[in-house]
Structure 1
Amino acid sequence: MRALRVVPPGPGVLAALRAALAGGDAIMVGSPAPDLPAEVEQRVALVVETSGSTGRPKRVALSADAVLVNAAASESALGGPGQWVLALPTHYIAGLNVLTRSIAAQLDPVAVEGATFTAAGFVAAAQRMTVPERFTALVPAQLATLLDDPGAATALAGFQRVLVGGQGTPAPLLARAKAAGVRVTRSYGSSETSGGCVYDGSPIGQTEVRVVDGEVHLGGPTIAEGYLADPELTAARFVEELGMRWFRTADAGTLDDGRVTVTGRLDDVIISGGVKVSLSAIERLLRENGFDDAVVVTAQHEKWGEMAVAFTARTSDPAPAIAAIEAALGPAARPLVRGGSVIPVLPSGKPDRVTLQAKATQ
C-alpha cells in the first residue's frame, strides 16, 4: 500500500506531483475529507476528483505510468516540449496535465495569477515565459475571453499550440481563433483517461478508440486504475478484453477512418411529446446560431412530459436559432430559451449543470 496525501491547491502542487510520479506518497489536490482513505494501492500515484458537472463527483485513481505516458503522447502530438502557461485549476485533470507536461519537459510552468481568469492575467503570465516554445490549455470560455481582448489575442497567437477541451467548443469560436492566428487543438478525454488523449478527433500515442452500440470507448496505457473505494462503478465503467483495458465514456459518437466524432452524452436524451430529443444536439445548434454560451438542461412539462430549457447570457432574439433547431431535429426539440441568464460555472470552467437543472424547474 501507499500513503495518500491531500495537497491544497497552490504553488506546492508541482513539487508534490513530481514526488508522487517519482514514487513518493500518492496525492490528491483539494481539501481533506473524512471518507478519504489514508492509503491507496501501490500503483496509484494520483487521485483526481471529477468535476461533478452533471452529478456526484467520483475519485479517479491514476498510476504514474498512465499520467506520464499521456504527457509523452501529448508532447509528441504537439511537436515537442515547451513551456506551459497554467490557466486551469490544479485539482482537475486538465490543470494537472499542464504540470505533468511541464515536469516531463523540465520547464517550470507559468501560472496565471488572480482569483479569477482575466485576459490581463494571461498576458502577464505570457510575458514571464522564458522560452519561445509556448503552450497552454484552456476551456472554451477562457479562449473567448482572450479573443475578446486584442492584446491577449495577439499574445495567444504567439503560442505554438493552444489545447481547448473540457466541453464542446463552438464552431464559431474555433473560426474566430483561426482568424486571429491562434493555433487551436481540440482535446478530448477525461480524468479516467489521464486527461486528453484524442486531439482533433485522432487518438494520440498508444490510445485506441472504438464505438460499441453508439458509445465511445477509450483504451490504452493511459486508462485509470478505477474509482477509489467504488469497485461496483469501476466494474461498470472499465472493461478488459484481450489484454486491453477500455473506459466506457458514456459519450455517444461515431468512428470514421480512425477519427472519432463525439455527438453528445448517452444519458442526455429526453422524451418530449413521445419523441427522443438530444439535449447536446440542441446545445450545439444554439451555439452555432449566435448563442455560443448556451447550456441546455431539461424540465418537466405538463403537456410534453419533458422539454429542453436553454440558459444563455445573450439577449438577442432566439427565433432564428429555434427555427434552425426545429428544422434539424423536429418540433419536439424546440427549447425554452432563458436569455440574460448568469451561467454558473465550476472551478474547472465547466458550466454547473446541476445548478441550472434546479433553476429550470423554478
Structure 2
Amino acid sequence: MEMGRLKARWRCFNRSFNVEAKAASRSVVLHWLTWIFPLMLFILISANFSAGTLLELPVAAVDNDNSILSKRLIRDLDAGSHAQVSQYSEGLERALSDLRSANIYALLYIPHNFEADVLAGRQPSPVLYYNALFYGAGLYSTQDFPGLTAEISQEYTAIISTAIGKPLPALATVNLSYESLFNASGNFIYYQLFAATIHILQLFVVTCTIYVLSRRKMLLAARPFSLALMGKLAPYTISYTILLMVQLAALVIYSGASVNGNPLFMLAIGFFYIMAAQSIGLLLFTFTKDIITAYTLIGLLVGVAMTYSGIAVPELSMPLIAQIIANIEPLTHALYALFDVFLRGVPASSLISVCALLLVYPIVTAFLVRKRLPKRLHGEDIK
C-alpha cells in the first residue's frame, strides 16, 4: 500500500517534470531566460574584467602650478595602467561637474606653488578625488597615485637633504606582517566578477520562476499538488545549476582563476542556492496581486541583495538591523560558502551546514504558500 503511494507520487513528479521540460525546450522566452541572456551578460562582464582589473579609467587633472614637477606628476599618472588623464583648462568647477556626472571617475587637483613648496621642504597638498558612488571604477582610477607620490617624495627628500647640507633624520622602521585571504583590490576575477556572476544568476532564477508559474494554470489539476509543483520547477533548478557550473568553469579556464577547494562542494552549494532563489520567486508570485507587481518587486530584491550581501558593503560594518537583513538573504550565505570553496579549502562539515541552511528557504516557503498559491493560480492573469 505504502509502496503504491510512493510510486504514484513519483509518477506525478516525473510527469510534471517531463511536461515542463518539453514545454521549456519549445519556448524561446525560456531559452533566453535560462541560458542565452545569462551567458551573454556573463561574457560582457568578463570582457570588462579580462585584464583582472579595470584599466585606462578617465581621470581629470587641474594644474594650477604648471611647473615641471606638476607636469611630471600628471604625465606619470597617465603612464600608469589604471588612469587615462586629461587636463582641464576650464578649471576646477568644470572638472567637479564632470566628476559628479560620471564623465570622469577621479580628479587630480594640483595647487599653486606646488613645486616651490616641495623644494622649500613644505608639505603641499595635491588632492585626488574620486566618485565613491562608482566604487569600483572610482577607486581603481586612483590605484597608481599612492606609489607615484611615494616615489616623488623619496626623490625630493634626497634633493632637499643635499641642498641643506645634512641628511634628514631617519624615520622609525615599522614591520607590518599580515596574511590576506584574497586581494580584492588587485584582481577583479577573484572577487567582483565571481560575486557578480552569482548575484546576477539570482535575478534570472527569480524572473524565470515567476514567468513559469504565471503560465502553468494546469498545475491545479495535478495531484498531489506539491509534488507537481516541485516537478514543474525541477528542470530549471537543474539547468541553472549547470549554468552556474559552466560560468565558474569559464572563470577557471579562460580567466586564469583557480578553485582551491573541492569543485563538487560548489556544485552542491549552487544546487541549494538555486532552490532558495526559486523560493523567493515563488513568494513574490504568490503574495502579489498581479504578475507586473511581482516583476517590479524583483528590482527591489536586486537592490537589497547587492547592498546587504557583502558585495558592496562589508557585513561587519553594517548596523544590527542591516546584518539581520543580510542574513535573511540567501545570496549572503551562498556567497560566503562559495568564496570559501573558491579561495581556500573547507571541510565537508562546513558544506553540510550551509546546504542545510539554504534548504530552510524552500521548506519555509512551502509552509507559507501552501494555502495561498492554489488561490493565486486561479487569478485572471494566469494562463
Could you tell me the TM-score, scaled by structure 1's length? 0.22
Q: Which has the higher contact order (CA 8 A, sep 6+)?
A: 2
Larger Cα-atom Rg: 2
- The structure carrying a bigger helix percent of its residues is 2
- The structure carrying a bigger strand percent of its residues is 1
